[in-house]
């Protein structure tokens, strides 16, 4: 991406807008393999953007990052896969930086194709994924976000007659 040196290759990226801080947050993995996940806060002014300092939120080899803004807690929630597990972390934007709480596992089995959304009616974050540890069933997990962590999780599997599909360009 444009905020890293041109010699680095960025893979598996996502972006989210933090309405409270009025900033954009970019989430990315900066190499094809064995690299951690980073986040960087951007400030848009007119037709330009400036960035704070990148922060590593997980030093392990992450995949399938997605980002959701939780307007009930004014926090960014990043979902991703690491060591085949579905994992997420809660971040708080302050100025041009972002700080994170501890990571939490929402699926200990093998996951792929993580996507996220925010349910503003119920103030919940929802992650969907392919549950490879359960015959690749499409699965959703509903998360209640606390101050810097998850206060509850509820998992739901798709009906068995729905097949997993692939979408060009990611989730």
Residue 111 belongs to a domain: yes
Residues 128-171: pLDDT tens digits?
Answer: 887 777 777 778 888 888 755 555 555 555 555 444 444 433 33
Domain count, the chain: 1
Question: Taking a C-beta distance cutoff of 8 angstroms, is the pair 49, 43 a contact?
Answer: yes
> By C-alpha distance, which of 48, 51, 29 is closest to 38?
29
* Mean pLDDT, rounded, for 5-19: 74
Quick check: is 4 in a domain? no
Strand pairing category for 111-119 and 104-107: unpaired
Distance CA 121, CA 57 (A): 29
Mean pLDDT of the chain: 80
What range defines the domain where residue 84 resides? 11-157
- Identity of the highest mean pLDDT range in 6-20, 31-45, 76-90: 76-90
Question: Is residue 148 in some structural domain?
Answer: yes
CA–CA separation, 43 vs 135, rounded Å? 42
How many Å apart are CA 79 and CA 77, to the nearest integer?
7
């Amino acid at each position: 991406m444009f905020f890293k040196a041109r010699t680095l290759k960025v893979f598996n990226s996502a972006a989210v807008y933090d309405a409270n801080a009025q900033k954009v947050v970019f989430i990315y993995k900066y190499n094809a393999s064995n690299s951690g996940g980073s986040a960087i806060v951007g400030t848009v002014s007119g037709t330009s953007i400036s960035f704070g300092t990148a922060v590593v939120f997980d030093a392990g080899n992450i995949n399938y990052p997605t980002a959701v803004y939780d307007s009930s807690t004014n926090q960014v929630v990043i979902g991703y896969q690491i060591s085949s597990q579905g994992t997420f972390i809660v971040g708080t934007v302050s100025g041009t930086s972002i700080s994170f709480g501890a990571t939490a596992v929402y699926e200990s089995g093998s996951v792929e194709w993580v996507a996220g959304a925010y349910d503003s009616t119920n103030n919940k974050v929802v992650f969907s994924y392919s549950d490879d540890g359960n015959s690749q069933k499409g699965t959703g997990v509903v998360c209640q976000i606390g101050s810097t962590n998850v206060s509850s999780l509820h998992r739901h599997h798709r009906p068995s007659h729905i097949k997993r599909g692939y979408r060009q360009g990611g989730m």
